Amino acid sequence: MTGSNNLKENIIYGIFLVLGLITVGFVLLISIYLIIAGLPAIREIGLIDFLFGTKWASTAAEPKFGILPFILTSVYGTAGAVIIAIPVGFFTAVYISKIAPKWVRTWVSGAVNLLAGIPSVVYGLVGMMVLIPGIRVVFNVPDGATLLAAIIVLSIMILPYIISVSVTSLDAVPKSYEDASLALGANHIETFFRVSVPAAKSGIAAAVVLGVGRAIGEAMAVIMVSGNVANMPGIFESVRFLTSAVASEMSYSSGLQREALFSIALVLFLFIMLINACLNFFIKRGQKLH
Amino acid sequence: MNKFSALAFAAVLSVASVFGAAPAVAGGTVSTDGSTSMEKVIGSLGEKFQLDNPDIAFTYNPTGSGSGISAVLEGRCDIGLSSRALKDDEKAKGLKPTVLAYDGISIIVNPSNPVKDLTVEQIKDIYTGKISNWKDVGGNDAGIVVVGREAGSGTRDGFESVTGTKEQCKYRQELTSTGDVIAAAQGNPNAIGYASTAAVGKTVKTLTVGGVEPTEANVKNGSYVVQRPFILVTKEGKALSAEAQKFFDYAVSKEAAEIIIKAGAVPAAD
């Protein structure tokens, strides 16, 4: 009896191990493939010319492969989205977690979750139909497909992530902290901002980093609203992100152009690794605090 | 335990289905090589051909018109695909062009735009940035928003070679699908774009080019100039294999015309 139980345990253990290794295997496979596929073009173009070149003309007779416009656009676009989404997301999270009556909380959280579930192509489509003409009229520019449009779309897309992770960490603040603060004579708002938020701060930081990761990796929505021309970024300029640079040319590319697209993907991958490392750092620090 | 063994079984099955799906083909092959712009037309023709002749393997290698032509010349494929007319020196080498279809490219603007017609020269100047205001071509006093397709797109390649604007276009938006270009022209009163004629609907206004409308008949007889031929290239005097001949006959047949229309081109067969 014990023998068969042991065997059962071992088989189950084995299955879990294999399934776990499959995931690790995929990550390794993708990383190795990206490095192998991405390096040749960088070597051929030259790292400095590739990363700091300001001109991208991949199908010209004398092709130019400078991706600085894409890198800067991705950085500016993500930063812009985060700057808009942090205050909105943060205050929404505090409201949902600490202030809202129960029924409001249910409704607002439901809406936030729904926002997270909307496919990015829908964001892109709505952006194209509503936001782009809107920006054109409001700011009186010739065309609304700009970095600004991409920033607005991205900020709405990352809101639900920032809100729901922040709410989780605010909910996790022990009630005794808040009770103590209230007992000492602080009012509710003081308690939330002086006690609850600092206690949840690493979770909120993780939420922001998660939002950054989501924004920098988004391709579909930005490709539809940013105009997608390889210009140096400007708020009313038509721009192309790292992601959209890969996505827009991949389908018809060949030769060095294709290899260069893989190199862009590699650069993007490194960015996202960096962001993940930050995320782990904040989460680890959060665990130490509690 | 049951749950886990079922899971393991499912995992094994899914892995097997990925690796076990090698095609088993007994008959001959038809290899085509060339223009990336013809992908949709050749792809749909090949799909239907394959369905009717399951024992013949059909391949399409999207390399570009130039390399497709040299592939036929060097005997590396059965049929070459070119989305431009053959040059004289290519014909002199014994290559035979057969026009499969025509690809018309419509110039589209917002329905509110008063401009009705542009010459090829005007289109060129607009796309290269020489003309940047609609009033210079008889429209409102407003900046022109130039919309086009991404580098490598067949439509862009076709448009730029016909208008002679290769590598000189100053785009405001480079979009990745025909639908997006149409939506952009629909959404911006000052936009101009180009799209495959078959895809353009009533949501945007199609301009005449030099007074000629991009109708099927005008594309076919060549009076509408923003168009290019889709050509099957074969070698003069060298018989195709039975399988390749079968595909060739099918592709230029009336039966195939419907598929070509669905793929967005104007079939050459009557």
pLDDT tens sequence across A230-284: 999 999 999 999 999 998 887 767 778 889 999 999 999 999 999 889 888 887 8
Tokens of B83: 């989305």
Choose from B3, B150, B166, B192 for mutation: most chain A CBs within 10 A: B150
Amino acid, single-letter form, for residue B220: K
The two three-digit tokens of residue B177, written as one number: 């699908």
DSSP letter assigned to residue B79? E
Kindly tell me the sign of the dihedral angle through the C-alpha atoms of A218, A224, A228, A232. Answer: negative
The closest of A157, A287, A266 to A215, measured between CA atoms, is: A157
| B12 or A31, greater pLDDT | A31
Instruction: Provide the pLDDT for residue A201.
Output: 87
Shortest CA distance from A60: residue in chain B:
B167
Q: End-to-end CA distance of chain A, in Å?
A: 43
| 3-state SS class at B225 | coil
Q: Using one digit for the tens of pLDDT, what is the confidence trace for B134-149?
A: 999 999 999 999 999 8
pLDDT band at B21 (very low <50, low <70, confident <90, very high): very low
Rounded Cα–Cα distance for residues A169 and A251 (Å): 42
Interatomic CA distance for residues A143 and A239, integer angstroms: 12
Q: Is residue A16 part of a domain?
A: no
Least Cα separation, residue B188 to chain A (angstroms): 7
pLDDT category of residue A289 using cuts at 50, 70 and 90: low
Looking only at the bridges linking them, the beta strands covering B29-34 and B191-196 are unpaired
Give the closest residue to A124 by CA, choosing from A89, A149, A148: A149
Residues contacting residue A14 through CB under 8 Å, at least 6 positions apart: none
Minimal Cβ distance to B173: which of A12, A59, A227: A227
**What's the average model confidence in pLDDT over B114-126?**
94
Across residues B232-256, what is the average pLDDT? 90
What is the C-alpha end-to-end distance of chain B, expressed in Å?
A: 66
Residues 190-229 of A with CB under 8 A from B: 223-224, 227-229
Kind plus residue range of the DSSP H or E element containing B230: strand B227-235
Residue with tokens 């393997």: B57
**Most confident among A15-24, A59-68, B37-46 (mean pLDDT):** A15-24
Show me where the domains of chain B are located: 3-102+229-267, 103-227
| Distances from the Cα of A146 to the Cα of A10, A73, A212, B47, B151, angstroms | 57, 11, 20, 40, 19
- With a cut of 80, say whether residue B8 has pLDDT above it: no
List CB contacts (< 8 A) between B63 and chain A: 254
Structural domain of A58: 52-289
Reply yes or no on whether the pLDDT at B103 is more than 80.
yes
Kindly state the tokens that stand for B121.
Answer: 């020269």
Convert B185-216 to b/e letters by CB count within 10 Å (16 or more is b): bbbbbbbbbbbbbbebeeebbbbebeebbbee
Q: Tell whether A38 is covered by a domain.
A: no
The complex's ipTM works out to 0.74
Average pLDDT over residues B170-188: 88
Residue B32 confidence (pLDDT) above 90:
yes
Q: What is the pLDDT of residue B80?
A: 92
- Encode A172-201: b = buried (16+ Cβ within 10 Å), e = exposed: ebeeeebeebeeeebeeeebbeebbbebbe
Q: Is residue A28 part of a domain?
A: no
Please judge whether B174 and A227 are an interchain contact, meaning their C-beta atoms are less than 8 angstroms apart.
yes
Which CATH number do you get for residue A231?
1.10.3720.10
B69 residue type, one letter: I
Residues of A in contact with B185 (CB under 8 A): none
Q: What does B6-20 look like in DSSP terms, one character per residue?
A: HHHHHHHHHHHHHHS
Q: What angle separates helix A147-171 from helix A68-94, to the nearest 10 degrees?
A: 40
pLDDT band per the 50, 70, 90 thresholds, residue B23: very low
3.40.50.1970, 3.40.190.10, 3.40.50.740, 3.30.1490.20: which CATH number matches B103-227? 3.40.190.10
Residue B12: pLDDT band with limits 50, 70, 90: very low
Structure-token pair, residue B73 = 């010349």
Percentage of chain A lying above the pLDDT 70 cut: 97
A158 falls within a domain: yes
Task: Give the whole-angstrom CA distance, residue B105 versus residue A42.
Answer: 36
State the pLDDT confidence band at B19, using cuts at 50, 70 and 90: very low
Per-chain mean pLDDT for chain A: 90
State the pLDDT at residue B155.
83
The secondary structure of residue B222, as a DSSP letter, is T
| Interface A-B: count of C-beta contacts within 8 A | 85
Tell me the one-letter amino acid at A120. S
What residues of B are in contact with residue A128 (Cβ under 8 Å)? 180, 183-184, 187
**Which CATH code fits B3-102+229-267?**
3.40.190.10
Q: Are A164 and A240 in contact (CB under 8 A)?
A: no
Query: Environment class of residue A170 by beta-carbon count within 10 Å: exposed (0-12), middle (13-18) or buried (19+)?
Result: buried
| B53-84 residue pLDDT tens | 999 999 998 877 888 888 898 888 999 998 88
In a domain, A275, yes or no: yes
Contacts with B99 (C-beta within 8 Å, 6 or more apart), sequence order: B229, B230, B231, B232, B268
Contact indicator for A81, A162 with CB cutoff of 8 Å: no
Most B-contacting residue of A18, A229, A241, A244 (CB-CB within 10 A), to test interface = A229
Q: Kindly tell me if the per-residue pLDDT of B15 is higher than 50.
A: no
Helix/strand number for chain B, H first, E second: 10, 12
Q: Does A21 touch chain B (CB under 8 A)?
A: no
Measured between beta carbons, which residues in chain A are less than 8 angstroms from residue B180? 128, 224
When divided into structural domains, chain A yields a total of 1
- DSSP letters, A126-175, are HIIIIIHHHHHHHTT-S---SHHHHHHHHHHHHHHHHHHHHHHHHHTS-H
- The pLDDT of residue B1 is 41
Q: Is the pLDDT of residue B194 over 90?
A: yes
The answer to the question of residue A15 being in a domain is no
CA distance B131 to chain A (A): 15
Give residue-wise pLDDT tens across range A193-244: 999 999 998 889 889 888 999 999 999 899 989 988 999 999 999 999 999 9
Return the percentage of chain B with pLDDT > 90, whole number.
46
CA gap B219, B162 in Å, rounded: 13
B50, B54, B66: which is closest to B26 by C-alpha? Answer: B54
Q: Is A133 in Cβ contact with B173 (below 8 Å)?
A: no
Q: Are B183 and A130 in contact (CB under 8 A)?
A: no
Asked whether residue A113 is assigned to any structural domain, the reply reads yes
In a domain, A280, yes or no: yes
Q: Looking at chain A, which residue has its C-alpha nearest residue B142?
A: A142
> Is pLDDT of B255 > 50?
yes
Helical (H) or strand (E) element with A32: helix A2-45
B39-52 and B254-262 helices cross at what angle (nearest 10)? Answer: 130
Q: Measured between beta carbons, which residues in chain B are less than 8 angstroms from residue A142? A: 142-143, 145, 172, 190
